[in-house]
Amino acid sequence: GQQVMQIPQYQHVQEGEDFTTYCNSSTTLSNIQWYKQRPGGHPVFLIQLVKSGEVKKQKRLTFQFGEAKKNSSLHITATQTTDVGTYFCAGRGAFGNEKLTFGTGTRLTIIP
């Protein structure tokens, strides 16, 4: 079955440093979504990428979808304490049904 790997599992950064998490799928994806889960909370949708090579920005967050539609990344510039949480990618298979396969997540902690 489809597998989605995400690295690193944990990342500790000083406030103001940049942060990147990477997502790799074992199969080609129709699209990929990113979610953020604050400590003790539930996952919240951030963005969806659909096109090969697509890049989207949300303020300090930059999302990329690979040319082969098998990998993706999330980059946060100049982290702030509000960025703390676990970031998940979630891939939808090439046939586009509604199921998502979630990555294992990257837990970001910020050192003030």
Contact residues toward other proteins (CB under 8 A) are 1, 6, 9, 33, 35, 41-45, 48, 88, 90, 92, 96, 98-105
Output 74 or 90, the one with its CB closest to other proteins: 90
| Edge-to-edge strand list for the sheet holding 19-25 | 4-7, 19-25, 71-76, 61-65, 55-58
Q: Please list the residues that pair with 33 across neighbouring strands.
A: 48, 90
Q: Which is nearer to other proteins, 77 or 109 (CB)?
A: 109
Closest by Cα among 61, 9, 70 to 34: 61
**Among the listed residues 22, 26, 16, 18, the one whose alpha carbon sits nearest the alpha carbon of residue 34:** 22
Least gap, CB of 101 to other proteins (angstroms): 8
Shortest Cβ 34–other proteins spacing (Å): 10
Nearer to other proteins, 38 or 78 (CB): 38
State the nearest-atom distance from the C-beta of 14 to other proteins, in Å: 25
CA distance 17 to 71: 23
Nearer to other proteins, 90 or 108 (CB): 90
